Structure 1
Amino acid sequence: MTKKSDSIINPFNGQIVGEMPVSDADDIELSIVRAQKAFQVMRKLPRFVRADILMKAAELVASRRDEFARTIAAEAGKPLYDARGEVARSIFNLKNAAQEARHSAGEEIPLDLDAGVFEYQTTDARGVSTKLADLDHNALAQMRRRVGIARRFPIGTILAIAPFNFPLNLVLHKVAPAIAAGNSVVLKPAPQTPLTSKLLQEVFRDAGLPDGALEVCHCSVPLAEGMVKDERFAMVTFTGSAKVGWHIKSIAGRKKVALELGGNGAVIVAEDADLDLAATRCVRGGMVYGGQYCIGVQRILVHASVREAFEKKLVEKVRACRVGNPMEEGIDVGPVIDENSAKRIQGWIDEAVAQGARELVGGPRAGAVVQPTVLTDTVKGMKVEDEEIFGPVVTLNSFRTFEEAVERANDSRYGLQGGIFTNDIRRAFQAVEDWDVGGLMINDVSIYRIDNMPFGGWKESGVGREGTRYAMDEMSEIKLMVINYV
């Protein structure tokens, strides 16, 4: 019987990029069993073996750099420049995971910190305790006879559910630390971009990863939900929309859950800011790859005294974005992931204009391509302000005091990342205290991310942290051993 497969479609031109086998219930069961068996191997592997596998995988991705970049560009609709950037980040991600695998270690827990605890622990059956005043120096030295050692251990098989917008690097934000910590993984890639995951599985196989330690299941939503509920998984880690993420948490049972969800990133441009830098970075953060970044720039707040000058620079730079086929060199903005998403984004733009917003730059949608758009006079209650648009659209509004700007930026149910352009360090520290976001970028935009930094959000933007070492902590548990050596 021939296995069913899905045709993976280029969102720009509708052409078939490749075929991906579909996992049915029997395939998923086999993958889970294989991954559980592989965990028994992974948990015993020395650190250097895990590190060597990750380093070899980095070398193999580098050797197939162009193949990965073109696959990402074709199935995700990502411009080649950004696809190449994603591959470069992924190579670093793997190398960093290899380093963290070698350096992961426990710590000594001091157990001689409190006199009261000592006296309580030495109380005999008659209620008589050893008083410190009655002890000489030699006796006091015996108080150090216990040493505590805390070590981290891998937790088991991890279910990783990945998004379409970074089909290699966001997959590796889950897979690489899981392997570094000694776990096994069942990966459910985004339905639009599974071919990159298939390539990655080949790379890990060739790098020497034990059989079953990385299983890829391209499957339906009901079957994926069944895996989320399956108690054989020790953890589910998900990147995607807030709606889906919180639903996953509600059905996951007792297992660990890490959620990296949405945002509607705000950027504040103060009156002392470098306006050219701010405008350039806001365009990069809001328009490139069709704005399909959870940490992308969506709301720009600029001081009233420099509003006119900044608006002119911003609009000019948005108009200069090259829109077209992501497989062509030099393209800045390609399609969004599918035409239905484009229709939704255009609908939100049109709705905002009907409610009183003005379109400073934009244009009609063409298939899955949404023209880079700047809206102004937007207010709370409009979807383009309140929701995550996930498209090449930014809003531009003014403020008069810095406190007002921070309050408006923070007035969101999301709290992933934000940005501030200012030369006043006091404002930076004021903002980080009052603005509830997981990351705040000073003189940069919300889109900035290096793959070893702690990454995650407040409020409805998720729970847990990614970034190799921080994800390894999420994917492991502490065991404490106390030794009385006298």
Structure 2
Amino acid sequence: MDVTDPESGVLVGTVARQTEVDARAALDRASAARAEVARLPTQARMAALLAGVDALKAAAETVANLIASEGIKTISEARSEVQRAAETLRLSAEAARSLTGETIRFDQYPTGVGRTGWAEPMPVGVVLGITPFNDPLNLVAHKVGPAVAAGCPIILKPHEATPLSALWLVEALAEHLPKGALEVLTGYGAELVPPLLADDRVRLVSFTGGLATGRKIAAAAGLTRLVMELGSNCATIVMDDADLDPAADACLSGAIAAAGQNCLHVQRIIAQRGIYPKLRARLADGFRGVVTGSKKDPQTQMGCMIDEKAAMRVEAMGRNATNTGATMLAGGARDGVHCKPTLLENVQGNDPILCDEVFGPITALMMADDINDAIAQANATPFGLQAAIFTRRLDHAHRAVKALDVGTVIVNDSTDYRLDAMPFGGTGLSGLGREGVASAVASMTEPKLASFRWPTSF
């Protein structure tokens, strides 16, 4: 399979298009390694992960250029992703150190007197990690790092458009781990994933991607555990009392990051009536001033779509919104795989831009009367990954945290904020379970209880 730069069409690399036979062989190797990987001492798990950190730091610019060549990231975004991936592996090493159990007070009940015990976290077994194209290195680190920390072999299936970053990281880690601990499959998910889902030796699937694919995985997974992040339609609320400049800057940055191909993309901005005119003017100017162009140019602020089909889809969504009454304040144009960042207002309530995930650089600006109206509008979607609010009032902030139906509420930053250490996941159609290093490690373990009854003569 050729891996090409989506912007230029230039060949970046070639990988194997693996088949169902390869998938079964990878599972055989991972399953055979299960006991050995589970027995790895904590220091060995940590050493492998920290070796990956060192490798990333030593080759940071090389890896950043690889990310920017095979995918959609600008070189600035790619450099940041390398730093984040190193931090994710470092956090995974710390999670391995912190993987402890708990003692059980058996004597809390009469039949437990003379007994003691503890619960110890044990690896669940083989993990299948499936990653998307938009963060081709750091999201791989978020699958592989916790698996190593937990003592689980992992089979990684990176997106077919961006496998090179994943292969680089797996190679950097694999030399420090037993054979079979890290397997990687390059090719198409429709060919490689079904035989793995049908095999009971796969004990957990960690998937980051789209809702439609997530539904197919859930339907086929049977009793296999699932951790899935399936995207969102994130809303950022800006109240009248908010500081205008930082709110506008953060909303703009969150709207254009990864050209909107980001589950935390600022897709809706809900501004209270008093601040709406000033924010509208600031955002319209900001969107029109975004520098688009070559990903490798450090001055470029927003890169390209993953392919022309995706760019055409985004262009059509903007056009359809204006055809049904929306006003285009900025953007709307497309040049091949490049889309101008688009800001719309007066988008109709049933438009997909307000309900579904765009996965592209389109943002809708909306008006709210008060905090309750803003929250109601923010919650008017079946997704619930993250939401945000800009305000200087503690009552508004606490009201938003309590009432927004999402996995995370960000106060005084946009929805595009994420710390790799924090629990990450959502409500509704945004997925199942939580990622973030510590949460991912917890999902990849299960408690084993030991109960001791002491001899009467002890």
**Which TM-score applies when normalising by structure 1?**
0.92
The 8 Å contact of residues 97 and 180 in structure 1, kept in 2 or not, is answered as yes
1:128 corresponds in structure 2 to none
The 8 Å contact of residues 33 and 181 in structure 2, kept in 1 or not, is answered as yes
Name which of 15, 23, 27 aligns with 1:28. Answer: 23
CA distance in 2, matches of 1:299, 1:150: 45
Q: Does 1:214 align with 2:209?
A: no
What are the equivalent positions in structure 2 for 1:48-447 lying under 5 Å apart?
A: 48-113=43-108, 117-118=109-110, 121=111, 144-206=113-175, 208-220=176-188, 221-447=190-416
Offset at residue 203 of structure 1 (A): 0.4
Offset at residue 470 of structure 1 (A): 0.7
The 8 Å contact of residues 318 and 332 in structure 2, kept in 1 or not, is answered as no
The 8 Å contact of residues 325 and 334 in structure 1, kept in 2 or not, is answered as yes
- The 3-state SS of whatever aligns with 2:381 is coil
- The 3-state SS of whatever aligns with 1:480 is strand
CA distance in 2, matches of 1:360, 1:226: 48
Mean alpha-carbon deviation: is it higher for 20-29 or for 399-408? 20-29
CA distance in 2, matches of 1:355, 1:417: 28
- The 3-state SS of whatever aligns with 2:237 is strand
Name which of 459, 464, 474 aligns with 2:428. Answer: 459
CA distance in 1, matches of 2:56, 2:294: 25
| Residue identity in the other structure for 2:194 | E
**Which TM-score applies when normalising by structure 2?**
0.97
- The 3-state SS of whatever aligns with 2:334 is coil
CA distance in 2, matches of 1:430, 1:485: 52
CA distance in 2, matches of 1:59, 1:151: 31
CA distance in 2, matches of 1:364, 1:401: 34
CA distance in 1, matches of 2:71, 2:314: 17
Offset at residue 145 of structure 1 (A): 2.6
Deviations 1:95-149 (A, max 9, x none): 1111111121101122333xxx42xx3xxxxxxxxxxxxxxxxxxxxx6532230
Deviations 1:260-314 (A, max 9, x none): 1110100000000011101100111111221111011000000111111111111
The 8 Å contact of residues 126 and 152 in structure 2, kept in 1 or not, is answered as yes
The 8 Å contact of residues 158 and 233 in structure 1, kept in 2 or not, is answered as yes
| Residue identity in the other structure for 1:35 | A
Give the % identical residues.
36
| Residue identity in the other structure for 1:338 | D
The 8 Å contact of residues 289 and 332 in structure 1, kept in 2 or not, is answered as no
Mean alpha-carbon deviation: is it higher for 428-437 or for 391-400? 428-437
CA distance in 2, matches of 1:69, 1:391: 22
Mean alpha-carbon deviation: is it higher for 287-296 or for 161-170? 287-296
CA distance in 2, matches of 1:464, 1:288: 25
The 8 Å contact of residues 267 and 419 in structure 1, kept in 2 or not, is answered as yes
- The 3-state SS of whatever aligns with 1:149 is strand
Deviations 1:71-99 (A, max 9, x none): 11011121011101110000011111111
RMSD of aligned alpha carbons: 1.2
1:449 corresponds in structure 2 to 418
Offset at residue 432 of structure 1 (A): 1.8
CA distance in 1, matches of 2:215, 2:395: 36
CA distance in 2, matches of 1:250, 1:432: 33
Q: How many residues align?
A: 454
CA distance in 1, matches of 2:398, 2:452: 44
The 8 Å contact of residues 24 and 195 in structure 2, kept in 1 or not, is answered as no
CA distance in 2, matches of 1:403, 1:144: 54
Offset at residue 219 of structure 1 (A): 2.4
1:482 corresponds in structure 2 to 451
- The 3-state SS of whatever aligns with 1:440 is strand
The 8 Å contact of residues 7 and 16 in structure 1, kept in 2 or not, is answered as yes
* Pair member with larger Rg: 1
CA distance in 2, matches of 1:266, 1:229: 37
- The 3-state SS of whatever aligns with 1:345 is helix
| Residue identity in the other structure for 1:452 | A
